[in-house]
Amino acid sequence: HPGLTRLFGKGYGVEAHTFVDKMWGQLIDEPSRNPSERLYQDILPDVPHLPADRKRLWTYFKLWPNFAFDIYPDQVDFMQFIPVSATQTMIREIAYALPDERREMKAARYLNWRINRQVNAEDTELVARVQQGMASRTFTAGPLATSEVSLRSFGRKLRALVPEARMPRPPEGW
């Protein structure tokens, strides 16, 4: 994600475990080239109840198989991914936040959503291209980068539950 790289630099972490994957990153001090990201970096107000190491930390958790929550200094987002067909998924999402009437906090929350809509658009475009490729008669599974820790973990879990996912082509009648 270009936006997350601009916000975290190269210093974000990724872990995959049996039932939960985690990604996290501290907002860097270098101003982003993107106006929304730069403004978020600049105006995110102090959140007194958070420890110093959490005041500019974004943390993402994905719980196997279809639930995620994102923890930011300004709010928490919850998401559920519901497959509706072999090629489509519905995403239900809601954010919660502690009451805070400061203008800076309201702006930070708006900018957070704006930044994450761009990240989601990047995901949607990537998934659409993958789906288009998978529909091709010439599609073959390729290697995933070692940096794709969560995606590799998800694939291992899916192949363990659905052995047909290991096949180079869908079985007859699928």
Q: Per-residue pLDDT for 169 more than 80?
A: no
Q: How confident is the model at residue 134 (pLDDT cuts 50, 70, 90)?
A: confident
Return the pLDDT at 35. Answer: 96
Closest by CA to 79, choosing from 89, 88, 66, is 66
Kindly report the backbone phi and psi dihedral angles of residue 15, in degrees, each rounded to the nearest multiple of 5, phi listed first.
-135, 145
Phi, psi angle pair for 52, to nearest 5°: -55, -40
Label residue 154 exposed, middle or buried (CB < 10 Å: 0-12, 13-18, 19+): middle
DSSP letter for each residue of 55-80:
TTEEEEEEETTTEEEEE-SS-EEEEE
pTM of the prediction?
0.87
Alpha-carbon distance of 129 to 171, in angstroms, equals: 23
pLDDT exceeds cutoff 70 at 118: yes
Average pLDDT on 111-119 reads 94
Contact 75, 41 (CB under 8 A): no
Mean pLDDT over 134-156 rounds to 83
Give residue 174's pLDDT: 65
- pLDDT mean over 166-170: 76
What share of the chain has pLDDT > 70, as a percent? 99
Q: What is the pLDDT of residue 45?
A: 98
Instruction: Please tell me the predicted confidence (pLDDT) of residue 17.
Output: 94
